[in-house]
Every structure is written in C-alpha cells, then in structure tokens.
Chains A and B, each alone.
Chain A
Amino acid sequence: MATSVDTRTVLGADVSLELSGTWAGYWVAMLRLLTGWWFFHAGITKYANLWTSAEPFTATGWLTGATQGTVVAPITVWFGNNAAWFVNFTIPLGETLIGLALLLGVLVRFAAFWGAFLMTFFYLGNAGFAHGFVNGDLMGLLLFVTLIVLGAGRVMGLDQYVENWGLVQDHPRLKYLLG
C-alpha cells in the first residue's frame, strides 16, 4: 500500500511523496532502534565505574577546556565552573533515558527533542570542523530531528498504544511528546 503525502505546504510546490508504508515503517523503526542503542550505550557505559574499576564519568574537562572558543562556550564554561555536578549527573542519566525511550518507542518525540538538545551542544562544543561542518555529530542530531518529524514511536513502539489512552485522546497535544 502506497501512501501519498501532500507536500503543497512546502514552498507551495504541488508535488507529492509516494511512500511505501512497509519500507518506510521498517526504516523508521530501524532508525529509532539504532539511535536508541547509540544513546543508551553511551549513557549506560558512563556508569561503568559501578561494575568495573573505570573512573567515574566527568564532563568538567570538556566543559571548561574543549569547548573554549566555541559558540556554546558561554554556557558550557559557566556550567563547568559553577555547576559541573549538574552536567556530570544529567548527561549519563539523560543519554540512558533518551536511549531507553527510543528503544521502547515511548515518549519518542520528547526523548528525541532532548537528544537533539544534547547533540547540539556536542556538535557545536566539540567544534571538530576540520573535516567540514557536516560531521557525525550533526548527522546524529539530524537523526533525532528525523525521529521527531516522522513520529517514529508509532511503528513497533509503545507510543502506538499510549496514543490510544484516554488521557491522550482528551489532550491531543500530548501527541507532540509521543511518537
């Protein structure tokens, strides 16, 4: 079954996208799972000191050192000097929860928003532009935006069930947080 997506609102161009529901569905689910595992793994391994002899995760050096001179430095350096504990706490927890949400397909848009938020700081803060402005960090950021735009949690994810809850039916705006 092909689905024609009306794109007349895109700069007024009267064209349509013909999507194969099957291909698009599997592709969206795969993007969600891989992006979810990427962040879940990145987050959970920052707790490796709990079961190995690894050093506890700290972003202080990155905040006050690596991001110096970048456009996000006013924010990152301030946090590094004044509230590094907050970043050291929220990055592993945030990455783990964002990844878990994407893997389960629940609250996908909400999770992907915060994933894109984190990737914005990683992309601009790493400032690894020696190989160009389009690098892996930006691609990762765009993956999260893609999941938001497509509402990826509905395909093989729990959001397809959550969206049927009475609470969501009564407050349709909640769908902007779900898949």
Chain B
Amino acid sequence: MSDQPTPPPKPILSPFQTASRLGVILVVIALLGGAFAYTGGWLDPQRLTPTRIVDSFEQASGRHPGFRRNHAKGVCVVGLFVSTGAAAKFSSAEVFAPGRRTPVVGRFAIPGGNPYAPDGGVPIRSLALRFNQLNGQQWRTGMNSMPVFPVATPQAFYEQLQASQPVAATGKPDPERMKAFFAAHPETAPFLQWVKSAKPSASFATEAYNGLNAFFLVNDAGQRQAVRWGLVPEETAQPGGQPLPADPDFLAQDLAQRLAHGPLRWHLTLILANPGDPTNDATKQWPAGRTVVDAGTLLLQSTEPQDSGPCRDINYDPLVLPTGILPSDDPLLAARSAVYATSYERRTSEEAGVSAAGHTAPPAAKDPRS
C-alpha cells in the first residue's frame, strides 16, 4: 500500500535505554533554554540592565505615561545647521561639507523624570539634536549645560540614581546617602565643583551645551581624531544673572518670545583631543589649549510643545551617527543608547496602550494638571 521503503530492522530499546535517551533529549533542551534565559538576564537579577536603570528613574519621579523617563520636561525646536566646512578635513560626514545646510529637529529640556518640574529647580539645561542628512543618514546627539558628567561608568550612574532616591518621609533624597555616594566616588569632584556655583538660567538661549562624551571623527582618508563637541550661544545672559520669573514654565515662554523676534544661533564647536587625552571618562575635561574647530552655525527658528511637536517621537540615541563619526570607548555611550531605547519602548507603548514586555509598571503618577 505505502510506497515507503521498508525501514531497516532496528534493535528494540530496553526501558532503561529509552529512559536514558529521553533524559539526554531533556538535558539538551534544558541546557539550551537555560543558556537563553541566562543571556536574557533572567537568571541574573544582579545584572545592570536597561530595565533596571529605567525602573530607577520611574521609582524616583513616578511613572508619567507617554513621557521620557529622564529629561521628561522639554520643548521641540526646529531649525537648520549651516556648515562652515572647517570640519570637513576631519570628518567625511555630509553635515560638515562646506556650505551644507542640514535640517535639524531638536529638543530643549531639563533633567529629571518629572514632566511638571519647575524650571528653576535644577541648574542644568539640555539640548538634543537630530540632523537629517540629505543622504538619509542621521546624526543624533544630546548635550548638557554642565562641563562634565558626574560619573564615568554606567555602574556609578546607577549607584548615584539609587543614592538619590527620594525617601518617603521628606520626599527628598537622603543627604547622608548622597554624601556617602559622593565620598565613595571621587570622580564626581569636578561636577560638584561646577554645581556649587551653577545657577538655573532664565533662558535656554544663553546656555552653552556640551556633548560630554568623546567620539571619533573619521575623514575620507580614514584618519581618526578624538573629539568632543558643544554648542556656544551667540546670545549672552545678563551679567550676574537675572531673577527667575515666578512661572514654573518660564523657559518655554522665554524661548517662544525670543524666537518670535528671529532665529537663535549657536556655534557648533569641535574640541580636538591631543594624543593621550582620555576618551573614556566623561568626568574629566580635556586641558585648555586644545584646537577648537568652528564647524558651523545652528539656527533654531521655531518651537512647539513636546506633546505635539516633531521631537516627540524621536529617541535622541547618541549612537545614531552618520558615516564620518564613530563612537569612542566611553562606556556611557552604549549605556545611554540601551537605556534610551527602553525608555522609548515604554513611552510609545503607553501611547499605544500596549504593555511593554517584561515591564511591570508601577501605578501612574498623578498629573497635577488633569
């Protein structure tokens, strides 16, 4: 009936043989499943994962569905970058070609996970940019107004996040815990030195923004040059600072008022490392006297609220880079990229009403305006 060839006679397995062969199969499956679970971090709760860092932000500031987990309060800006061409001999990126005009979608923000925080509460402002090159490649970067990052490694950053968790009694971080953290992390000294005298600015427009992490510029000949970039404003703040307006959202208002009178300008400066300058330590500024290249002018022309503006759906992942820029060995870069991806996954999932895999959400924080 069947046109199957007759199988060759095979020895009958004893019950012991059958059981041991089944055992072998189960062991193979269990080993493969176990290796998968280990790789995914499920057997290793102590591993520092993007999930644990993003959870810490939520723990500190409450969960604000749809918002970024850090730098949650911000506004969108739109403009363009006009290249001088001075950086073209260091990097083959299209954005640096002489006279090239590259459209930019940016976002000003203040640090912290609370989208309703008062602007005067922190002395740091940030600016993230996405350059859309005509060739389809993009350059995304996030910059901050401080000159150095407090810590050099993701592990230290996580410890800082843990040390600064608000305590239930006061709603503020425990000063003793903070002190202990900073004592255990002497690399935070330059940041603490800066923050001692730093005052919250009354405007985004008068701030300089620093990339903090190092990268490599790569030119057409394949030569690599270590670099840190920053933005230097053309606007200047009133000497001695100015009293901060009472409105907690004064930064967005100031920005809109200034843009109503015309575009705001910054110079994109590339600080070129000397041989031996550290590229893996964002807590250390490079010594003075480094060559600084004025790569061009950033013109910001208009602003929109972040819940409807074009920056809303952008993940300013610092590792989205065009040809001609490469990441350095700074360990913060991969961590930022991984953590931003998790933040982006959560906030878009909240908007879509689907639950992000592996995320057991704490209850949403109360929106003070709803």
| Physical interaction between A and B | no
Using a CB–CB cutoff of 8 Å, the interface residues on chain A facing chain B are none
Using a CB–CB cutoff of 8 Å, the interface residues on chain B facing chain A are none
